[in-house]
Amino acid sequence: MNKTRYELNKELAQMLKGGVIMDVTTPEQAKIAEEAGACAVMALERIPADIRAAGGVSRMSDPKMIKEIQNAVSIPVMAKCRIGHFVEAQILEAIEIDYIDESEVLSVADDVYHIDKTKFKVPFVCGARDISEALRRISEGAAMIRTKGEPGTGDIVQAVRHIRMINRSILSIASMKEDELFEEAKKLCVPYDLLLYVHNNRKLPVVNFAAGGVATPADAALMMQLGAEGVFVGSGIFKSNDPAKRAKAIVNAVTNYNNSSILAQVSEDLGGAMVGINEQEIQLIMSERGI
């Protein structure tokens, strides 16, 4: 993939800024997401809460199911592959998926290497807990970064922790002198040119979304106010009592994240949120996969 292709992929990801990307498992759910105003959907056989509950090995979804979702909606469709599993990524590219998420939600295929995303035409999304993970994924060709809040829990605490860590690091890097940047690049194990970009621009080179634990309009607005440029919602919508209403409310919350009056209005009468799992109760920490 040449530089022009990568720049185009980054621009494609930028087009999703300010939007909500929703996990869906059926064409019907995809239509609900589209009607609610989602900017894209993530097609997968099981939402993260069900993947966590089922245990075992979790793999790429059936291409037939993904294609059914592609045919059901006009908005972009994403799909997940396992970390390091470049053949799953090749299959997803072959069925003309719009974005590939190399995801810690699925089981890890390669515990040493991530996919070389520069060999693909399709844009990749990757998770990151901190600035070093984010810049390493970008150096591999990721066109979008998202936080790695613990999937399938409905607990926002890790996503908050990750976005704050990244923001804190960006401010620290922006204040460094040039000779300090070389040392910091070695310490973080990231390319100097990416660190220099952060230093000069006070932001990541690609769009940065929030993901993991978003279950309410308030959660979504919180992440936007903390600096996220959009939100992924996994189990929070279709594990709630009224998915269609909650989906619309979360989209409105992301659009109006600084307007507390609108946030109060869209938070009313949504029915029960997903039950969720407290961070302290988690047996399997998915966010630690693929650093």
Of 17, 64, 80, 187, the active-site residue reads 80
Question: Which whole-number Å values give the CA distances from 163 to 65, 127, 166, 208, 228, in the listed order?
Answer: 33, 11, 5, 9, 7
Token digits of residue 274: 């997903």
Write out the DSSP string of 270-289: --PPP----GGG-S--GGGS
Q: Is 239 an active-site residue?
A: no
Task: Report the run of H or E that residue 170 belongs to, with start and end.
Answer: helix 157-174
Q: Are 199 and 181 in contact (CB under 8 A)?
A: yes
The β-bridge partners of 21 are: 40, 232
Can you list the positions of beta strands (E) in 134-225? 144-147, 207-209
> What phi and psi, each to the nearest 5 degrees, are found at residue 127?
-90, 155
Tokens linked to 35 = 């009607």
Three-state SS letters, 233-262: ECHHHHCCCCHHHHHHHHHHHHHCCCCHHH
From CA 175, how far away is CA 199, in angstroms rounded?
7
Say how many Å lie between the first and final Cα of the chain, rounded: 24
Residues noted as catalytic: 80
